[in-house]
Copies of this chain bind each other. A is one copy, B any other.
Amino acid sequence: MEARIGFYDRARQIFDLTLAQQALEWDQEVMMPAQGADQRAHQLAALATVVHEKLTDPAYGGLIDAFEASRDLDERARADVREARRARERAVRVPGRLVAERTEACARAQAAWLEARPRNDFAAFRPHLERVMDLTRELAEAQGMPSPYDALLDEYEPGMTEARLRPLFDDLRRRLVPLLERIRGASRRPDPAPLARCFPVQDQEVFCRRLVTDMGFDLDAGRFDVSAHPFTTGTHRDVRLTTRYREDWLPCSVFGTIHEGGHGLYEQGLDARFFRDPSGGACSAGLHESQSRLWENLVGRSLPFWSHYYPVLQATFPGVLDEVPLASFHGAVNVVEPSLIRVEADETTYNLHILLRFELESDLIARRITVKDLPELWRIRMEQQLGIAPPDDRSGVMQDIHWAVGLVGYFPTYALGNLYAAQFMERMREELRDLDERLSRGELGVVRTWLRERIHVHGRVWPAQELCERATGAPLSVEPLMRHLEAKAHTFYGI
């Protein structure tokens, strides 16, 4: 009993401190005055140091050992021990000197990226990126895994390895590239023009609030704000979503909101009894992304969904979409078109953007290529796989902030999210034969309930891949996503 209390007290204290970090980061993006950045950086650094001290404290190691040695641990308790030990060992293996150096290098690289990107000046950004990549490789090597890139993947998608990922992604590429070629050669195609009319921001906000509320997101246990880059943070009874509005491009807020709403439902859906425990949080970055993508693409771009919401949307913007029939609108939100910028990509081409980044970053970490090679490789592979090449580096290798801030091994989780999402949706559809009928009546709760019971409440008791198998009865595969994308290509492009 004493071992139990000692272990959970310490583990939950660490959790509470990381939630405090998250709250300060949310504030920084959404509320903080511009000039507060320097002070906030000090606060976050102080908190990061404290969390690292708490994780690496030998006494905490002793508490984990003592609890593990107690009798009759149930599955939850064993998972708590596993996750606590995992987080602690990852921290212990990294020398404090390296953490500090890398934090500083990332801060500098981020500032350099912010300056260099609009000026299209990769040469100015390059030394900073080199430094981040070198320190990230060193960090990865310190984990002592068979491959350094696996150590990075493992941070965001525990248990995932390059050896498992590569065949999945190879499959995906082999299927996506020809599909995209056929789509590009199709004789009929939907018209996105209706989405680019004038949609007053305040009316968009009303519609988006209705969407997250209907999805089942509890605004008494969360917030819904605006930020430059939409994100979701917090957990359980304090979950915060952001979105952004473009008056001349409706999908920006609508699909952004549904996406973040999916993340938010995951956090609100965790088991209330365990959310502060090491195995009580969301399972992995890929699983998290599966929730947002399932809602955004598999629900939010479906005909049943818009059968219910299109009349609501039309009424929200009187006169704007009156003469556009439902079928045309549904086509408009399902256009497939190779483009340069990942965050604006459609459901089909999005995965090719991720594959490109995965190849480049795994090659960089394995020293098969260097930072210097990136711009040229980016152009060549974009041309090969998407059929278009960026005219400059700002819409090429410099478009994402991830590498500048040291997020290496993270991009794959976006594609994994798409794969998980499609597999979950296929299974849900098998179990709920009247799913489309209910969606077309606006009953979004049916999706939320299924996801809550199959995914959310289980936290990270099992690794993501095992959770997927338990929820769907099959290991993760590209088939459900490809079936989904091919069916859409048939519907909208007649192929």
Contacts and interface: CB of A to CB of B under 8 A. Distances in A.
Interface of A: 12-13, 16-17, 19-20, 23-24, 27, 31-36, 38-40, 42-43, 45-47, 49-50, 218-223, 234-238, 276
Q: What 3 A-B pairs come out closest when comparing CB atoms?
A: A36-B238, A16-B46, A35-B237
Contacts of A39: 16, 19, 235-238
Given A39-B236, A237-B39, A13 B221 contact: no
Tell me the number of copies of this protein: 2
Contacts of A31: 27, 31, 223
Contacts of A32: 238
B33 A46 contact: no
Tell me what chain A mostly uses at the interface: helix, strand, loop, or mixed. helix
A376 B397 CA distance: 75
A49 B219 CA distance: 31
Given A16-B42, A33-B220, A36-B237, 5 more contacts: A19-B42, A23-B43, A33-B219, A35-B218, A36-B238
Contact of A47 (B20, B33, B35): B20
- Interface hub of A19, A33, A42, A219 (most chain B Cβ within 10 A): A33
Nearest to A17: B46
A13 B48 CA distance: 11
B27 A43 contact: no
A269 to B, nearest CB: 14
A175 to B, nearest CB: 43
Contacts of A17: 43, 46-47, 50
Nearest to A276: B42
Nearest to A38: B237
B27 A23 contact: yes
A223 to B, nearest CB: 6
A220 B35 contact: yes
